[in-house]
Amino acid sequence: MKLEGNTILITGGTSGIGFAFAKAFLQRKNTVIVTGRDAAKLERAKQQLPGLAVVQSDVSRPADVEALRDRMAREFPALNVLVNNAGVLRRINLNDAGGTPDELTAEIDSNLKGPIWMVRAFLPLLAKAEAAAIVNVSSGLAFVPLPVAPVYSATKAALHSYTLSLRAQLRRTKVQVFEVLPPTTRTEGLAAMNNGEDLKGVAVMGVDEMVAASLAGLAADRLEITPGQSGQLRLMSRVAPAFILRQLSRSVERMLGS
């Protein structure tokens, strides 16, 4: 994938990995549009990154996805790269019956349904480009779950599976399908992990370092990109799955103890 001269849409681009991708792509002379749910965060991102275009949109709402597609077709018809990055990470104790069913599965709407809806809506537009790409940002937890984040981990495993199928079905088109599987990355989302207590002993990768490794993978046309410890998780899930699951289950004892 070429890293310059694209028109790129990034969902969930106001902070963390999405914002770092936006910054890196702007530096490489691309047109970059980011989405987010919070108008104040969108405005702050726009001020921090001159030249960035922002649109308030929520991938967990099908109506928002359709409206976003129509707006992009009007205002950015040269769109040729979609980065499905928006996601939610929550620490959930499954012994606790509190909350509603919708609250329990909220991550599925953002992390799994959202990318699927986005691909459905934007594929016809991407197919018109001379060269196009879909980049799904999943997680190293697609290979082995972090049990204190059960629904998040399940959505990333499902997104990984969906991406494999999408790539197979689009192999005769001009649309490349990439997957970036970040390791634990230093973003605002880590606060959900009991302010870091659940990640004791886990190496945390800097967000700019993670994005730099991902861009190198995209430039090399590596379809599955596993920066940092994600590659180790993939290997361990194959050679010692019970061991690595026990290691990632340590935080459950702290959760149950609390």
Yes or no: say if 79 and 126 are a contact pair by the CB < 8 Å rule.
yes
Task: List the catalytic residue out of 19, 21, 25, 152.
Answer: 152
User: How far is C-alpha 1 from the geometric centre of its chain's CA atoms?
Assistant: 18
- Altogether, the residues listed in the chain come to a count of 258
- Both structure tokens of 145: 């779950």
Which is nearest to 11 in space by CA: 158, 121, 114, 165?
Answer: 114
The rounded distance, in Å, linking the Cα atoms of 34 and 44 is 12
Active site (annotated) includes residue 162: no
Say how many C-beta atoms besides its own lie within 10 A of residue 94's C-beta.
12
Amino acid at 28: R
Which residues belong to the active site?
Answer: 152
